[in-house]
Amino acid sequence: MDVRITEGDAAYELRAAMRFLIAGTATMNQRIRLKLILLGDMNFHAMNCSRQVICSLCGTEQEVRQTCISCGVCMGKYFCEVCKLFDDDVSKEQYHCHVCGICRIGGRENFFHCSKCGCCYSKVLKNSHACVEGAMHHDCPICFEYLFESRNDVSVLPCGHTIHEKCLKEMKEHCQFACPLCSKSVCDMSKAWERLDAELATLSNSFDDKMVRILC
């Protein structure tokens, strides 16, 4: 008997937790130049270090701010005082999550912060995801990219573990339907089990008492 589980047997539904959440480097246009000033210990958070900004229009050096104190030019339509982030493309709906400590995109109203998982998730998962301590603070089990700072879409599996959406799709293409971390099913496998039961039902009675050793 040769039974294969195919893509059609598995009801595969991606659970997108985050979509393009990490706000990348600031869009630095010709209106500003950043002057980085390092203070004290060199072990610092790159986004929160002390900086000065120089207006390229009037040449005034000043503390990091959204508008020039001299000529009044707007240095960025989106500005985060914490991350020192400027961006003119507000269509990304940037917002700063004080718990995550970084700027994300996608609209604050569309996400909530899960304190146990340690990250902002889509509100569609608010009452349906399984919480795993620090679920986002580890590497993707397939490509090993750090998920918390990843700019690629991340999916939450039914078991609560997280993985890149593109990596999950690659698993699907190779008929791999188990979580790489805990081996639980990542999708509805009921049709696959029904197919296996149907195959077993056609076996002759000579196999009723047959025992085989398996490695689980």
CA distances from 207 to 87, 138, 193, 194, 213 (A): 68, 46, 19, 19, 14
Q: Rounded CA gap, 18 and 118, in Å? A: 13
Q: Rounded CA gap, 153 and 55, in Å? A: 35
> How many residues are listed for the chain in this entry?
216
Q: Which residue has the tokens 């008929």?
A: 175
The pairing of beta strand 94-97 with beta strand 102-105: antiparallel
Give yes or no for residue 118 having a pLDDT over 70.
yes
Question: What pLDDT is recorded for position 134?
Answer: 92
Q: What is the pLDDT of residues 63-106, one digit of tens each?
A: 888 889 989 888 889 999 888 888 888 998 999 999 988 898 88
**HSE (CB half, 13 Å, CA atoms) of 2?**
0
pLDDT-derived band at 25 (thresholds 50, 70, 90) equals: very low
Q: What residue type is 146 in one-letter code?
A: Y
Q: Rounded CA gap, 138 and 118, in Å? A: 11
Q: Could you tell me which of 8, 66, 5 has the C-alpha nearest to residue 32?
A: 66
Question: What pLDDT is recorded for position 192?
Answer: 81
Residue-range domains of the chain with CATH: 1-18+132-198 (3.30.40.10), 32-92 (no CATH)
Q: What is the pLDDT of residues 142-186, one digit of tens each?
A: 999 999 988 888 999 999 999 999 999 999 899 888 999 999 988
Q: What is the pLDDT of residues 139-149, one digit of tens each?
A: 999 999 999 98
Q: Rounded CA gap, 121 and 142, in Å? A: 21
Q: What is the pLDDT of residues 32-66, one digit of tens each?
A: 544 433 333 333 344 555 578 888 888 888 888 88
Q: Rounded CA gap, 18 and 152, in Å? A: 8
Give 209's contacts (C-beta < 8 A, 6+ positions apart).
none
Encode burial over 39-78: b for 16+ CB neighbours within 10 A, e otherwise. eeeeeeeebeeeeebebbeeeeeeebeeebeeeeeebbeb
